[in-house]
Amino acid sequence: MSEQSPQRSGQGAPGAFWVYLAVAVIGLLGTAWFNVRSVIEPSEQTFFAAWFANPSVSSLSWDLLAVASAASIFIIIEGRRLGIRWYWAYVVFSFVTAVGFTFPLFLAVRERRIASAR
């Protein structure tokens, strides 16, 4: 009964680092593909106007804004708590690349930090 599960003891799940890293790479490649296409094939709408072009896209945009805000708060709090260097850079680079890249990358680094603290 004294044994704690990995989630309760603060230890990461085995292999989580690689899963998060794979998601980060997919997030980077997927968003980069469409970012490059938006430069090559510009639309008549401005970048931010396109975020709210119709109800479906508006829903996705608000969803992204909410998740990006929560992820940023988590990165700052968890980065400070675990002593992760340059934690703030993940938030900054979210604006340059994509949250779909920087947040899972932060989670991968977090897993490594937790593993090294054991």
pTM for the structure as a whole:
0.84
Every domain of the chain and the residues it spans: 15-117
pLDDT at 10: 52
Residue 8, pLDDT > 90, answer: no
Instruction: Tell me the per-residue pLDDT of 21-40, one tens digit each, with 9 for 90 and over.
Output: 999 999 999 999 998 998 89
Instruction: Tell me the per-residue pLDDT of 87-118, one tens digit each, with 9 for 90 and over.
Output: 999 999 999 999 999 999 999 999 999 999 87
Cβ–Cβ < 8 Å for 111, 16: yes
**What is Dmax (Cα atoms) for the chain?**
63
Cβ neighbours around 112 below 10 Å, total: 16
Relative orientation angle of helices 99-117 and 87-96, to the nearest 10 degrees = 160
Distance between CA 22 and CA 62 in Å, rounded?
A: 25
